[in-house]
Amino acid sequence: MALFKDKWEIKTWADLSASVADSSNALTFRPKHRLPHKLQQGAKASKKATGYFNRDSILTSSAYPDGFYIYDTGSGLSYTAIPKDNFKTDMTAFLQSSSLSTSAKSQISTSFNATNWSPLIVQIDESDTTPATASFTLDVGIIGDASESISIVNTSTNTTNIHLLFAGTLETGRTYEIEYTLPMETISFTPNFASQSLQLTKLTGSAYTSAEYNNSVIFTPHSGSPQTASVVGKFVGSGSFQTYGAGYTGIEYDVQMKALGDGNDSIYSYTTKKQFIQFPSGSTVVSQSYLIYGILDTGRTGAFTTGVRYHISGSSANALGNNGVDYSHSHIFKGLDGNNLQHSGESGIYVVSGSTTGYLASLPTPGEVTTFSGTTYL
């Protein structure tokens, strides 16, 4: 049997499609959004943002109206069929975007279009089949506006496609869903307390240029259609204004993420909603030293850790006890870096140094910032 590059079996799309129904082989149909990592997805291009492969040009069917391909779970090969007219259009566009001279483009185009192409052009690619997990980290708190930034760091494995969804009130024209078609690693925003929104400021990764990352994003504004223009500088999301019992205010932002990889699963969903809080400029941060016991150690007799924890002090600080902490409401942070409250305190029973009274703190759901629950152990 003829092998392409001495390792790939040569078959027509009709042969491949007929073989899918044969239980003796490992071929399966896959929807477009499961395209392998090596076929980087995007509305504009693939194989980096300047490539010729366009995922929106692949074959469609009634079962897969957005397009589909055939995957060999045994060899890890992907077979993608592109209708002749779509293939010619994409290749012509790729040629015209090249730096070749006009005469060279014309000569190549004439030869290319004179070829008797088959109705379907099949592309073969090798895949990494490790399933993806949708996960990310983010700074949990921040004070101030444009001078500070908050970053979402993608920690998903083998990601081919990332979506972020921003919960809250939908504002006309404000972006609420973003699809990152290249494997974005860090996504940075600056918050705006007055408008209760975030502004996308930077996309960072290691495999592509900033321009390629920026040009591969698809975003959807409320009351609008998906856009492929630059999303950097756009306002996204809508936070929820909150007044806390401790006498301070904040904007709570909710975000969810879903990520796709090359695994066998074809169904995916958003991760659990995550939340961070922006506090207004000028908020006062106070600190205390604590012993922290396990959340079930109500008698405070077991092992404990020690450390300094930070809080936002409210307007009624003098009435809240030691250092302005309300043990029924206050959020707890375990690190202070300038004005950035980057890390949430861990759950546990907190005992102020020099005291024996314990205060229960836990992580709310949804939420990323540990808060005193109001439960006290004397």
Looking at residue 222, what DSSP letter applies? B
φ/ψ of 74, rounded to 5, equals: -80, -50
Looking at residue 114, what DSSP letter applies? H
**3-class secondary-structure state, position 86:** helix
Structure tokens at 37: 């990592």
Q: Is the pTM of this model over 0.85?
A: no
% pLDDT > 70, the chain: 85
Does pLDDT of 335 surpass 90?
Answer: no
> What count of other Cβ atoms lies within 10 Å of the Cβ of residue 309?
23
Query: For position 350, what pLDDT does the model report?
Result: 95
Structure tokens at 247: 């006498």
**Helix count and strand count (H, E) for the chain:** 4, 25
Domain ranges of the chain: 3-126, 136-279, 284-377
Structure tokens at 112: 């290319």
Range in 12-26, 32-46, 284-298, 344-358 with the lowest mean pLDDT: 32-46
CA distance 264 to 18: 20
Structure tokens at 133: 């997990």
Cβ atoms of 345 and 357 closer than 8 Å? no
> What count of other Cβ atoms lies within 10 Å of the Cβ of residue 338?
10
Instruction: For CA atoms 191, 194, 196, 197, give the dihedral sign.
Output: negative
In whole numbers, what is the pLDDT of the chain averaged over residues?
A: 82
Range in 36-45, 227-236, 246-255, 328-337 with the lowest mean pLDDT: 36-45
Summarize pLDDT for 167-208 with one digit per residue, the tens.
877 888 888 888 887 778 889 999 999 999 999 998 888 777
- Non-local (6+) Cβ contacts of 24 within 8 A are none
Q: Are strands 8-9 and 27-31 parallel, antiparallel or unpaired?
A: unpaired
Query: For position 316, what pLDDT does the model report?
Result: 47
> What count of other Cβ atoms lies within 10 Å of the Cβ of residue 107?
12
Peptide bond into 119 cis (omega under 30): no
As a whole number of Å, the CA-based R_g of the chain is 27
Query: For position 169, what pLDDT does the model report?
Result: 79
Query: For position 317, what pLDDT does the model report?
Result: 45
CA distance 96 to 118: 23
Structure tokens at 9: 């079996």
Most confidently modeled range among 55-64, 306-315, 332-341: 55-64
Dmax over Cα atoms in the chain, in whole Å? Answer: 87
Does pLDDT of 109 surpass 50?
Answer: yes
Summarize pLDDT for 54-103 with one digit per residue, the tens.
778 899 999 888 889 998 877 778 889 999 999 999 888 888 888 889 99
By the 10 Å C-beta count (0-12 exposed, 13-18 middle, 19+ buried), 282 is classed as: exposed
Q: What angle do CA 220, 224, 226 make, to 5 degrees?
A: 40
